[in-house]
Amino acid sequence: MPEARPKAIDLFAGPGGLSLGLTLSGFEVVGAVEWDPDAGATYRHNIGDHVHVGDIKRLPASQMDAELKRLGVIRRKSEIDLVCGGPPCPGFSLIGRSKIANLIKSGQWEGSDHRHAFIDDPRNELFREFVGYVAHFKPKRFLIENVRGMTSYMSAEERPIISVITSEFEALGYSVDARILNAADFGVPQNRRRVIFLGTRGKRQRIPYPEPLGIALTSRDAMADLPQVSPETGLSGGAKLELASRLGRSFRGMFLRWVRGQETPSGNRNPRRACTLHHTRPVNPRDRAVFPLLQSGEGGPRVLYRDIFPNRLAEVGAGLPDGYSLIEGDDGEPLVSGPPWGVRRSSRWGWYDPSKFGDKMRRIRGDQPAPTMVAHLAKDGYMFIHPDEDRTITVREAARFQSFPDAFDLSAGGQNSISSQFRQVGNAVPPLMAMALGAEILGSLGVTPSMTARGVYRLGRDDRAP
């Protein structure tokens, strides 16, 4: 009879990146909460039906406890070994800090005196819900993932936010560590730095952080087997991936074999060599002339949007598609004009102010890990222009940069729009980094991580240059 796996609850689960990594490391995620319906649909499609889609404030820990018992997943709450997630904390932002400080000075702050303003900030109710889950279930371990910027903020009382959060859990009897990790150190082809809190119930033990592999995958590594995409349509020029026999035996080849072959916890598999979600937005006529002028800095000087507008407009005009030209608008500013284009029927495109949006358009370096994927991808991909092709990255490329397997369907079987897919992948926790964290947490519990987790890190270390 197989040994029972430690049980976890994933809060603010998004599409399931953290749950996926933890499951692959050896955890059994038995409960999850996500408020966004699209992300919840993706989670259910790829991870399992145990996700509650809705406001966590309407599902307090006691109710989750009762539901898990009703389903027969646990008999007592002490069976939950890990509570994890990435609670949004808008109150630590610079604007939030300034506003709170002013309210305190004016006597309008209604927060209690015995707790920190950050904790009492009503915008941080979701963080308090996470604390409430830990207080209720008293798990042996907890994990929080959040943006790196948290480490640089001070409270209205000039106390580091990191210290505030740590003390909140120490008051519950936990030993807590916080450290910034870069996902690129754990097999993720993306420079994504996040602060990771690891908590252990009691004072006797702390969870070690995973060691970097000592080798990094580049953005070009992650896309090496994908077919080209048409800038005019945003659609893939082929439905098949490169032959597996051409991937090689390097760490890059191992990564590509893994994303191509790894199935999801719900049992989804990617058909052999199938190229899915490899789509993006069509490139409008103005940008078809701008994108070729952008340079990533790989093999030469970097060229950003501010280097092109307005100083290189003549080159832009020369590169416009047939039927389009530069004209002077009613306000005297240059415009790109031409016949109606695409479903939006727009025939004119203006320019962004280079003093405010100087890096609005930038090309990804192919010889380095990709930059941090962000939810803004849902609006445009101008900060993520392909290293070698004159178009923005596809959903599949963004998912590869996050280390999602190709079998992980961000469309949830066709339910979610492309914009939603981009937003989800930008908000997600990279599964391979989650797997590395899960393996260390399991080790601290005296449980051997899965063969999948051990295989990735053994191969990564063996593949380092001497």
Positions annotated as catalytic residues are 89
**Closest by alpha carbon to 281, among 345, 369, 342?**
342
Dihedral of alpha carbons 450, 452, 453, 457, sign: positive
Torsions phi, psi for 391 (to 5 deg): -165, 165
What ranges in 47-204 are assigned the alpha helix state H? Answer: 61-70, 94-106, 117-120, 125-137, 161-170
**140 and 102 Cβ atoms separated by less than 8 Å:** no
Looking at the DSSP bridge assignments, the partners of residue 349 are: 336
- Angle of the 251-261 helix axis to the 451-462 helix axis, nearest 10: 160
At 229 the three-state DSSP class reads strand
Strands 28-34 and 7-11: parallel
Looking at the DSSP bridge assignments, the partners of residue 325 are: 337
Would you state the structure tokens that stand for residue 272, as one six-digit string?
A: 């052999």
**Dist CA 46 CA 409 (whole Å):** 7
**Dist CA 433 CA 149 (whole Å):** 19
Would you state the structure tokens that stand for residue 425, as one six-digit string?
A: 């992948």
